[in-house]
Each structure stands twice: as structure tokens, then as C-alpha cells.
């Protein structure tokens, strides 16, 4: 009803903040609030599909620039900006594997 | 405990997967892509020089000329990309300590690639291949893999550094 759900994270581009195989708890409607830099988002990216990334910056056009945390992550300029409609939700909790 | 509980739920409910997308599969580095791109530039130069011998070009040959120049450009950029990824992501202080020439070599590869892109010159393309081969030699040495040089079994049949993976 509220749309919140768990997702499993594959890949290590968000480690150490979100290690591979972590579960994240995503709340879609939280995106209606002001998203701050550093918050973790689930995004439907036109090239990479469903990804989880940190918000790096909101530009003056209101577009959202994303980044990973690991050195192997796709760089910010390669990810490009996304619109708010592509943001699927905000990650509220991270459950890393033991 | 909470993780285990969610993992159990996942096995039943199959939660969607989100990717933390990486640029390249982690730790997979191999200079062979750069070497093949350098060879491709030499091959394109050879084919362009064949066209140069003709007194005039037909319509089809003009299209071929454009295609060859375009491929030479693309592979020039590819050499730069492949080398700079290995240089930026794999080469670190221990490798630089072993091979202090690496920074200068990589910079020279960038310059040589630009030269090969700017001119239809076999010499420029060969210079690029030599430098990329040297880079490959160093790369494999840092992984304690010996190398050997052999003529590649396809045009332009030039010398390439290969890893000796059977050792």
C-alpha cells in the first residue's frame, strides 16, 4: 500500500557504505521531500536499469547527479543526470551481510 | 539476525535486485585490448596506403576511405581509454616503485596515439605499438607473469607481446 520494499544489492560500487549482497529498505514516497546530497536512492537508470547510488548533487535545472562510493563505480559524468521521475525511492535502512 | 531474517524472506518472496554498477568487472585488467587497437591502427594505415596508390577513387572506394579513417580514429581513442583505465585503476605505488618509467610511458602512449590519429603514417602507428607493447611487458611483469614476443597471426603481422600463462 505504501510501496516500501526490500531490494538486494548486487555489485560493490557502493561499498563500504553498502557492501555487496546487502538488503536495502526502500521507501518510494520519501522522494517527494527535499533530497539532500549524500542520501542513497534507488533509480531506474535509462542505461543501467535499477541501480542504487548516492545523490552527489542537484543541479540548477533540478536534475539529480549520482555517484557510487567505490573506486570502480561508474563515474558521475558517465552516469549522467536523472530526473525526479526516474527516482524510485529513498533508501531508509541498509542491512549489510555479516 | 535481522539480515538472516530478510534473506529468508528474500528466498520466499524474491526481492528485486538493484545494481551498484561498476565501471568494469573489478580486477579484470588486460592490455591486450590496447595492443589489438594499436594493431588495428597499423592495419588501417596499410589499407589507406593501398588506396593512396590508386590514381583516382571510385564512389565505393571513397566510402571505404572514410570508413578506414573513422576506424583509425576510434581505435586511437580506444588505446588511450584502455591504457588510462589500467594506469588509473591498477597501477599503484608498488608498481610505480618497480617501474618508475610508467608515468612517462603512459603519457608517451597518449601522445603517440594522437600522432597516429593525426597522420596516415605507418611509422607513427608502429611507434604507438612499440610503446603499448612495452606497457604490456611491464603490466605482466607486475603480475609475475613472463612474456614472449611473437608475430601476430593476422594482418598486419607485427610483433606483439603475449603473456606466458603456462608457466
Domain boundaries defined on chain B? 29-163
Confidence of residue B90 (pLDDT cuts 50, 70, 90): confident
* Residue in this structure with the C-alpha cell 520466499, named with its chain if needed: B12
Domain boundaries defined on chain A? 5-95
Q: What is the pLDDT of residue A73?
A: 79
**Number of Cβ within a 10 Å radius of residue A87:** 19
Give the three-state DSSP class for A22: coil
Q: How many residues does chain A have?
A: 98
- Out of B2, B16, B22, whose CB is closest to A13? B22
B59 touches chain A (CB under 8 A): no
Write out pLDDT tens, residues B126-143: 999 999 999 999 999 999
Q: Which residue has the higher pLDDT, B23 or B139?
A: B139
Q: What is the pLDDT of residue B45?
A: 98
Asked if residue A18 lies in contact with residue A24, where contact means CB atoms within 8 angstroms, the answer is yes
Percent pLDDT > 70 in chain B is 95
B108, burial (CB in 10 Å: exposed 0-12, middle 13-18, buried 19+)? middle
In CATH terms, the fold of domain B29-163 is 1.20.120
Quote the pTM value: 0.61
Contact B3 A95 (CB under 8 A): yes
Q: What is the pLDDT of residue B52?
A: 95
Q: Which residue has the higher pLDDT, A34 or B158?
A: B158
Q: What is the pLDDT of residue B63?
A: 97
**Domain A5-95 classified CATH 2.10.109.10?**
yes
Confidence of residue B26 (pLDDT cuts 50, 70, 90): low
Mean predicted confidence (pLDDT) in B68-84: 96
Q: Which of A74, A68, A72 is nearest to A52 (CA)?
A: A68
Confidence of residue A47 (pLDDT cuts 50, 70, 90): confident
Chain mean position to CA B41: 11
The cell for B71 is 576506424
Cα of first residue to Cα of last residue in chain B, in angstroms, is 46
Contacts of B7 in chain A (CB under 8 A): 23
Q: Which of A7, A10, A44 is nearest to A26 (CA)?
A: A7
Q: Can you list the alpha helix ranges (DSSP code H) found in B26-121? A: 32-52, 59-85, 93-98, 102-118
- Out of B10, B18, B22, whose CB is closest to A52? B18
Amino acid at each position: 500500500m505504501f510501496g516500501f520494499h526490500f531490494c538486494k544489492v548486487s555489485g560493490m560500487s557502493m561499498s563500504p557504505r553498502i557492501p555487496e549482497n546487502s538488503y536495502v529498505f526502500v521507501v518510494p514516497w520519501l522522494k517527494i521531500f527535499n533530497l539532500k546530497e549524500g542520501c542513497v536512492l534507488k533509480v531506474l537508470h535509462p542505461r543501467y536499469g535499477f541501480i542504487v547510488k548516492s545523490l552527489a548533487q542537484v543541479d540548477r535545472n533540478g536534475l539529480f547527479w549520482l555517484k557510487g562510493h567505490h573506486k570502480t563505480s561508474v563515474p558521475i559524468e558517465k552516469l549522467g543526470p536523472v530526473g525526479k521521475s526516474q527516482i524510485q525511492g529513498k533508501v531508509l535502512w541498509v542491512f549489510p551481510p555479516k | 539476525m535481522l539480515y538472516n531474517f530478510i534473506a529468508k524472506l528474500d528466498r520466499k518472496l524474491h526481492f528485486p535486485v538493484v545494481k551498484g554498477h561498476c565501471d568494469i568487472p573489478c580486477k579484470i585488467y588486460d592490455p591486450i585490448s590496447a595492443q589489438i587497437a594499436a594493431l588495428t591502427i597499423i592495419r588501417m594505415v596499410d589499407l589507406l596506403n593501398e588506396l593512396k596508390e590508386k590514381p583516382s577513387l571510385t564512389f565505393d572506394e571513397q566510402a571505404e576511405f572514410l570508413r578506414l579513417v573513422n576506424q583509425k580514429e576510434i581505435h586511437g581513442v580506444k588505446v588511450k581509454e584502455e591504457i588510462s583505465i589500467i594506469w588509473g585503476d591498477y597501477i599503484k605505488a608498488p608498481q610505480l616503485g618497480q617501474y618508475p618509467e610508467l608515468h612517462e610511458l603512459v603519457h608517451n602512449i597518449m601522445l603517440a596515439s594522437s600522432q597516429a590519429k593525426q597522420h596516415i603514417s605507418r611509422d607513427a602507428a608502429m611507434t604507438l605499438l612499440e610503446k603499448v607493447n612495452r606497457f604490456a611487458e611491464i603490466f605482466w611483469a607486475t603480475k609475475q607473469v613472463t612474456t614472449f614476443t611473437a608475430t601476430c597471426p593476422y594482418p598486419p603481422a607485427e610483433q606483439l607481446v603475449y603473456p606466458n600463462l603456462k608457466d
